[in-house]
């Protein structure tokens, strides 16, 4: 998967959220919407050309995105943990 470094709507929305943060008013950055978090991680980790072919609602698509991110970046650890889970 080729990663494209263009500014998408999701990235701009995320950067606006970070810019709204004032460190003098609050110790932590502002809360982020769960769907925006998934979209930002998907675009940066899986690439902007990533898509799911099946017509799924967002909650099911989010599950597939998380699986794909884990498979791509830490497959060995996830497989070990899943095998431990199955043995329980």
Would residue 2 count as lying in a domain? no
Whose CA is closest to 6, among 51, 38, 53, 49? 49
In a domain, 3, yes or no: no
Whole-angstrom distance between the N-terminal and C-terminal Cα of the chain?
36
**Residues spanned by the domain of 28:** 9-87
pLDDT exceeds cutoff 90 at 10: no
- Within a domain: residue 4? no
In this structure, the dihedral spanned by the alpha carbons of residues 34, 38, 44 and 47, taken in order and rounded to 10 degrees, is -150
Label residue 46 by pLDDT band (50, 70, 90).
very high
Q: Which residues contact 25 (CB under 8 A, 6 or more apart)?
A: none
Q: What's the confidence (pLDDT) of residue 1? A: 47
If one counts the domains in the chain, the total is 1
Flag whether 68 is in a domain.
yes
* Residue 16 domain-assigned (yes or no): yes
Residue 77 falls inside a structural domain:
yes
- Give the predicted TM-score (pTM) of the model: 0.76
pLDDT single digits (tens) 64-82: 999 999 999 998 898 899 8
């Amino acid at each position: 998967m080729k990663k494209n470094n263009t500014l998408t709507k999701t990235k701009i929305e995320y950067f606006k959220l970070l810019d709204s943060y004032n460190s003098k008013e609050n110790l932590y950055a502002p809360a982020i919407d769960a769907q925006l978090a998934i979209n930002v991680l998907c675009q940066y980790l899986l690439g902007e050309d990533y898509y799911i072919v099946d017509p799924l609602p967002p909650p099911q698509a989010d599950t597939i995105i998380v699986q794909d991110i884990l498979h791509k970046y830490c497959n060995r650890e996830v497989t070990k943990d899943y095998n431990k889970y199955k043995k329980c």
